[in-house]
Amino acid sequence: MKNISNQKKSKAKIPVKDSSKNYTFFEDVWSVARQIPKGRVTSYGAIANYLGTKLSARMVGWAMNGAFKAKPKVPAQRVVNRNGMLSGKMHFETPTRMQELLEKEGVRVEKDKIIDFEKRFWDPLKELGL
């Protein structure tokens, strides 16, 4: 079944600064991201999976885009793709900002990729349980 008017049912409204009543998928993502322990990282898919929308990992990435303006600050540098690559570093203040933040927390990064990613990996589903 194909719903053509699917674009009309927008329930998430991030570009809102005042209306805090807008509880969205994005805020959920931020909440999880903020719980990532220092020196640990996770993936977009893991967060999406935790929120029950694992097929929508892209939305997590999109949420991170809005995380830039989120308050309190969201450690977006701890969220990378499933490959352990700093795919979103280009969206930081500077392209090197993300790596600097990670290395500052003890995460080794080389060529935009996290070393020992599997060790550093922090799965909300597993760590936070349910």
Partner DNA sequence: GCATTGACGAAGG
Partner DNA sequence: CCCTTCGCCAATG
- Contact residues: DNA, CB under 7 A: 4-15, 25, 43-46, 48, 53, 55-62, 64-65, 67-68, 76, 79, 81-83, 87-88, 90-92, 98
Contacts for 24 with CB less than 8 Å, ≥ 6 apart: 11, 12, 13, 14
Strands (E), the chain: 42-43, 79-80, 109-110, 113-114
Closest contact distance (angstroms) between CB of 108 and DNA is 18
Residue with smaller CB distance to DNA, 83 or 94: 83
Least distance between DNA and beta carbon 10 (Å): 4
Q: Which is nearer to DNA, 5 or 20 (CB)?
A: 5
Find out whether 78 and 40 touch, Cβ atoms under 8 Å.
yes
Written as six digits, the tokens of 105 are 């927390």
Task: Write down the least CB distance from residue 84 to DNA, Å.
Answer: 9
Task: Please state whether the peptide bond connecting residue 37 to the residue before it is cis, i.e. omega within 30 degrees of 0.
Answer: no
Q: How far is the CB of 87 from DNA (least distance, A)?
A: 4
